[in-house]
Amino acid sequence: MDELIRKGAALIRSAEKILVFSGAGLSTESGIPDFRSPGGLWSKYDPSDFYYQKIVADEGAREKYWKMSSESYGLMKDARPNQGHLAVKKLEDLGKLLAIVTQNIDNLHHKAGNSPEKIIEIHGTAFSVSCLRCGKRYDRDVIEGRIQSGTKVPYCDECSGILKPETISFGQAMPQEKMELAMRHARVCDLCLVLGSSLVVYPAASVPVQAGESGARLMIINRDETPLDRDADLVIRESIGRALGGIMEALGHSRERAV
């Protein structure tokens, strides 16, 4: 492990434009289960019930969707950033962070203190809700209050349109502007740091692929093997907080206290 930490520190020391690509494995260290892991939501619900077109077309599907989504939000709302998130914030403090491209919808990079303009949430966020008809946005807690009061399927105050958390569902189009921005960063970064992603979900995983093809070095910290391991300059199969926290310590920066 010590040798891997030294190699990781060397990669970060020499980098000037680091693109962080984060996935569910980063959030599990804050107590948010991966949807696909044992005990995750997909062990309780059938993901095929939550395809975008089904949600739009069927009120029964919307009721089931809101039940699942509220359960997920309850896990995220009070979650706190962990050592991995705080290490990413330190990269920004050091002037090395180009951007964060995250698959996570849990707001934890924001809670860690990273600049909002540095965070690209390519799968959206669970912390706001919008109307699919008129576009009116709502704070998530406002809608959750309605659900806790007995509303099973909330609708828009303005136009009675379908409300949906601003997350990307199965079968829903990815946000084009965010993906284009992520790919632009991938083409110019000199180090892509993958944290807790299986790198099997596309088109999101095309971001680190593009970074590697554009000449960036690639460091992957993930407990399990990924399809890009063979192309990476460094792979660390360890807790992100332990590994990235150790790397920052090797660079002369003490671990931040989790907030």
CATH of the domain at 137: 3.30.1600.10
CA 118 centroid distance within chain = 13
pLDDT the model gives residue 203: 93
CATH of the domain at 257: 3.40.50.1220
Residue 121: Cβ-neighbour burial (10 angstroms; 0-12, 13-18, 19+): buried
238-258 pLDDT, tens digit per residue, is 999 999 999 999 998 765 555
Work out the widest C-alpha separation in the chain, in whole angstroms: 59
Structure tokens at 80: 């706190």
> Considering its fold, how many domains does the chain have in total?
2
Catalytic residue, candidates 85, 123, 185, 253: 123
67-87 pLDDT, tens digit per residue, is 999 998 988 999 999 999 999
Domain containing 249: what range? 1-32+81-123+174-259
Can 123 be counted among the known catalytic residues?
yes
Averaged confidence pLDDT in the chain:
93
Residues 248 and 214 in one domain: yes
**Structure pTM?**
0.92
